[in-house]
Amino acid sequence: MADGSEEEIGEKQKKEIAKWFLANAPAGEIQYVAKDVRSILGDDEIYEMAAEEAFPPYNKAHLITLELPDRSGDIIISTFGEVDMCNYLDPRTAQVATVDHVKQVCTKVRAATDDELPSPYIEEFRDALDVELCKYVDEAYPKGICAVYCTKGKDVEGPGSDFEFSVVISASKLSPQNFCNGSWRSIWTIEFKDDLQVVELSGKLQVGAHYFEEGNVQLDSNNDCKDSTMMQAPEDCAVAITTMIRDHEAEYTASLEASYLKLPDTTFKDLRRKLPVTRTLFPWHSTLQFSLNRDITKELGIEK
């Protein structure tokens, strides 16, 4: 404080505050938050600096999906397909899309180079898994999108070496007109260990939801899981891996549904005070016997 007036915060502080609000926007709501932040700041230059720093990590963390300019499909914006800050690989179509992070649109697309794609041997495993995953995602997640990236060993030409895939599944249901938005994000790391002839999986499952009709309630839940299977031919590996992913994700969603059913009897009750400040339960069964002043105070033991 100086001379009784509020101290003016600097441009750097304003930018960092704006970045925080943008980065913590619920799934599918960053554009709404950005509109309000821009209006409150009243300074387009500071807002643009904050947006340029906040949008890229937000888009990748939330695994947003964008339509490719040639309408050949949708691309997931993730660290696994990142060629550079503005270009992202779509392994299914073997294309690289240029992305405007702040506007959340793909501006152009080009064919991926040989250096950006896995070897034919690795691609056989990757493509087989992608085909099986697409079938599963189409059944399990309305408007869900999946992608399979080779994150290690993409130059392996044949048996004898290890390699690794990252599987990404992203689905969202955005209904801001009904004051609710939700998202599902799962990331699976799949390690093919040739010496042991085994495939090891580790997954991170995330669910987010936001309800904001006359209130503000958010859900942010996650779960980690692991599994393994024997290394087989590409098609057999793909079926086994997809089955494990399906089973783990179904188990997690079932556990979430079970916890929701228990909310009224557990979580919501825990949010309320079990006893009044007098530590005495109110005798509701005999309220007709009391007068408002003398009898109630006597029964509760709070007479002066």
Each domain of the chain, given as residue ranges in start order, spans: 11-61, 63-114, 118-261
Q: What integer pLDDT is reported at residue 302 of this predicted model?
A: 60
In this structure, the strands spanning 180-193 and 163-175 are: antiparallel
Confidence class for position 214, pLDDT limits 50, 70, 90? confident
Give me the sign of the Cα torsion angle 3, 4, 8, 9: positive
In the chain, beta strands by DSSP E: 65-67, 74-76, 82-84, 87-90, 95-100, 105-111, 145-152, 163-175, 180-193, 198-211, 217-230
Q: What integer pLDDT is reported at residue 5 of this predicted model?
A: 42
Superfamily of domain 63-114: F-actin capping protein, alpha subunit (3.30.1140.60)
Per the CB < 8 A criterion, the answer to whether 145 and 135 are in contact is no
Q: What integer pLDDT is reported at residue 3 of this predicted model?
A: 47
pTM: 0.82
Confidence class for position 216, pLDDT limits 50, 70, 90? confident
The residue with greater pLDDT, 173 or 300, is 173
What is the rounded CA–CA span in Å between residue 67 and residue 182?
A: 20
Confidence class for position 211, pLDDT limits 50, 70, 90? confident
Confidence class for position 198, pLDDT limits 50, 70, 90? very high
The 3-state DSSP class for residue 277 equals coil
Q: What integer pLDDT is reported at residue 235 of this predicted model?
A: 97
Within this chain, domains 63-114 and 118-261 share the same CATH topology: no
Superfamily of domain 118-261: F-actin capping protein, beta subunit (3.90.1150.210)
> Which range (112-116, 178-182, 286-290) has the least confidence?
286-290
> Which range (76-80, 189-193, 228-232, 270-274) has the least confidence?
270-274
Section 213-233 average pLDDT: 90
Q: What would the two tokens of residue 193 be? A: 């260990």
Section 219-242 average pLDDT: 95
Confidence class for position 1, pLDDT limits 50, 70, 90? very low
Q: What integer pLDDT is reported at residue 101 of this predicted model?
A: 97
pLDDT in tens, 249-277: 999 999 988 887 776 666 656 655 566 66
pLDDT in tens, 281-303: 666 565 555 455 555 566 556 65
pLDDT surpassing 60 at residue 166: yes
Q: How far does Cα 203 stand from its chain's mean position?
A: 13
